[in-house]
């Protein structure tokens, strides 16, 4: 089969499955039975000397071979494509996959079975039977996929199964192209709260300008097509010999770092309801909320990896900010446990970059949101020091012993020398964190609201208002 024009996220024409030997391997059970019966009848006819039985045997043996040769020499000109909408979905949501097959040849096709290869996590493999596609005709079918587990899942390649009218032979031809469905963590709409004492950027609704009204304070730049001519600064134009305009306002964006502890030893259990998945979902919700509030945001892990990597690790705004947000969601879609034992690299990243240094160089106006798993004495002390250069710091602490719900989980925590969660929270609060415990099944939106209430008060709030929280 030869290729036709692609469509949407489609691909090239199906690739041949091999030579004549591969076509012979396409004999169905019926075809193999016909061939075996024909050979047996021919042998019996030879032994018994029955010419009529010999003709019947030859017919039964030759018919499947004729079908194999006919399908092997079939040269349909078809093109197949796949359109995935959307290509990035939250866990538990559905995506629609539309398949399209075009017959670009001058002859109609025979019976076709169209199937798409999908991972078992997304559901059963979809199959569609196309009776006949006329010359220049088109067929479109669709199906839906859904996954409760985040990740990146390949869809494809698209396959065509050809069969003869007698059902003696089936040949499979595959298209080369495939698509990828990205299942990102679930996000929760969060209330607008004030998590930092002060904000010098427009990350909490405030804004300031670099350029003031006087001519001496004007920061000119080169004229760009589309600029208002009323902003032309003639004195700078005469000085530089090219058209210059006033940079009247340059908004400042407050910075926020969202830290996710991914250490494997800090969490127990697996699956959609595990502590680690709750932390990943909370991280995604916080990132989306802060971006909506105008913050310049970055994602940081315990390994010291930062997303995005350019621009000091923070989103810059505009189209670049949207792309960075997609990159962070893609990172969270596939993030797993790290092999690290401590938070030293994350501490170095926070201290070295200067969380809260601000775009204008004024310190103390950045926000630090952290999701911690189990912390021993050393890691608790290290985490406590992270908030020294931030304008506001909020920590959500998950306790594996409580999330596991088993006495073995508590015994394991005690054997590792982990301090009680109340002690961890108290040490973080003494260092300046707004620290809250995240009990199993807690609604992150409620914890976020409690964090805002605590930050606006004494900074020593608890999550006792949430189900199963600690005072």
* pLDDT score for 276: 95
Whether 239 has a pLDDT exceeding 90, the answer reads no
Which percentage of the chain shows pLDDT scores above 90? 46
Beta carbons within 8 Å of 175's beta carbon, 6+ residues apart: 11, 12, 13, 14, 15, 80, 156, 157, 158, 159, 160
Q: Between these two residues, 222 and 29, which has the higher pLDDT value?
A: 29
* pLDDT score for 100: 93
Sign of CA dihedral 112, 118, 121, 122: negative
Beta carbons within 8 Å of 309's beta carbon, 6+ residues apart: none
The mean pLDDT of 77-83, rounded to a whole number, is: 89
Whether 76 has a pLDDT exceeding 80, the answer reads no
User: Sorting pLDDT into bands at 50, 70 and 90, what band is 421?
Assistant: confident
Question: Is-cis flag, bond preceding 308, omega within 30?
Answer: yes
* Distance from C-alpha of 338 to C-alpha of 334, rounded to nearest angstrom: 12
Whether 201 has a pLDDT exceeding 70, the answer reads no
- Distance from first CA to last CA of the chain, Å, rounded? 70
Q: Between these two residues, 248 and 303, which has the higher pLDDT value?
A: 303
C-alpha dihedral, 462 to 467 to 470 to 471, nearest 10°: 50
Q: Between these two residues, 129 and 237, which has the higher pLDDT value?
A: 129
pTM for the model stands at 0.76
The mean pLDDT of 334-339, rounded to a whole number, is: 95
* pLDDT score for 361: 34
* pLDDT score for 108: 85
* pLDDT score for 308: 86
* pLDDT score for 25: 84
User: Sorting pLDDT into bands at 50, 70 and 90, what band is 456?
Assistant: low
pLDDT digits (tens, 9 = 90+) for 341-380: 899 999 998 887 444 443 333 334 589 999 999 999 999 9
Token representation of residue 20: 């004549």
* Distance from C-alpha of 375 to C-alpha of 28, rounded to nearest angstrom: 61
User: Sorting pLDDT into bands at 50, 70 and 90, what band is 407?
Assistant: low
pLDDT digits (tens, 9 = 90+) for 273-292: 899 999 999 999 999 999 98
């Amino acid at each position: 089969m030869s290729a036709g024009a692609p469509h949407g996220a489609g691909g090239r024409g199906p690739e041949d499955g091999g030579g004549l030997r591969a076509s012979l391997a396409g004999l169905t059970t019926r075809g193999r039975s016909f061939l075996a019966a024909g050979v047996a009848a021919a042998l019996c006819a030879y032994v018994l000397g029955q010419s009529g039985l010999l003709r019947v045997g030859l017919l039964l043996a030759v018919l499947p071979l004729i079908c194999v040769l006919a399908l092997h020499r079939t040269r349909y000109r078809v093109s197949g494509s796949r359109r995935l909408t959307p290509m990035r979905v939250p866990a538990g949501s559905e995506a629609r996959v539309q398949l399209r097959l075009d017959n670009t040849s001058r002859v109609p096709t025979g019976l076709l079975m169209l199937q798409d290869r999908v991972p078992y996590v997304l559901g059963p493999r979809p199959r569609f039977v196309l009776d006949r596609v006329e010359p220049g005709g088109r067929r479109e079918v669709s199906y839906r996929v859904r996954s409760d587990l985040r990740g990146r899942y390949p869809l494809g390649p698209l396959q065509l199964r050809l069969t003869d009218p007698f059902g003696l032979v089936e040949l499979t031809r595959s298209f080369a192209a495939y698509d990828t469905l990205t299942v990102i963590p679930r996000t929760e709409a969060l209330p607008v709260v004030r998590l930092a004492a002060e904000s010098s950027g427009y990350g909490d609704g405030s804004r300031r300008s670099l350029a003031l009204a006087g001519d001496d304070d004007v920061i000119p730049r080169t004229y760009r097509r589309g600029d208002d001519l009323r902003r032309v600064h003639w004195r700078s134009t005469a000085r530089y010999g090219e058209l210059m305009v006033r940079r009247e306002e340059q908004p400042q964006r407050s910075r926020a770092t969202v830290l996710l502890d991914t250490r494997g030893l800090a969490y127990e259990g697996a699956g959609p309801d595990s502590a680690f998945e709750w932390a990943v979902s909370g991280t995604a919700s916080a990132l989306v909320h802060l971006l909506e509030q105008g913050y310049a945001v970055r994602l940081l892990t315990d390994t010291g990896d930062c997303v995005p990597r350019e621009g000091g690790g923070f989103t810059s705004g505009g189209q670049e900010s949207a792309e960075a947000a997609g990159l962070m969601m893609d990172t969270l879609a596939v993030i797993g446990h790290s092999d690290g034992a401590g938070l030293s690299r994350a501490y170095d990243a926070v201290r070295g970059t200067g969380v809260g240094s601000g775009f204008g160089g004024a310190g103390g106006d950045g926000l630090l949101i952290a999701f911690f798993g189990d912390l021993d004495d050393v890691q608790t002390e290290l985490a406590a020091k992270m908030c020294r250069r931030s304008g506001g710091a909020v920590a959500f602490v998950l306790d594996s012993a409580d999330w596991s719900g088993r006495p073995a989980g508590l015994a394991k925590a005690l054997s590792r020398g982990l301090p009680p969660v109340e002690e961890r929270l108290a040490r973080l609060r003494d260092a300046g964190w707004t620290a809250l415990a995240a009990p199993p099944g807690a609604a992150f939106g409620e914890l976020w609201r409690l964090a805002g209430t605590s930050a606006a008060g004494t900074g020593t709030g608890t999550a006792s208002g949430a189900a199963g929280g600690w005072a």
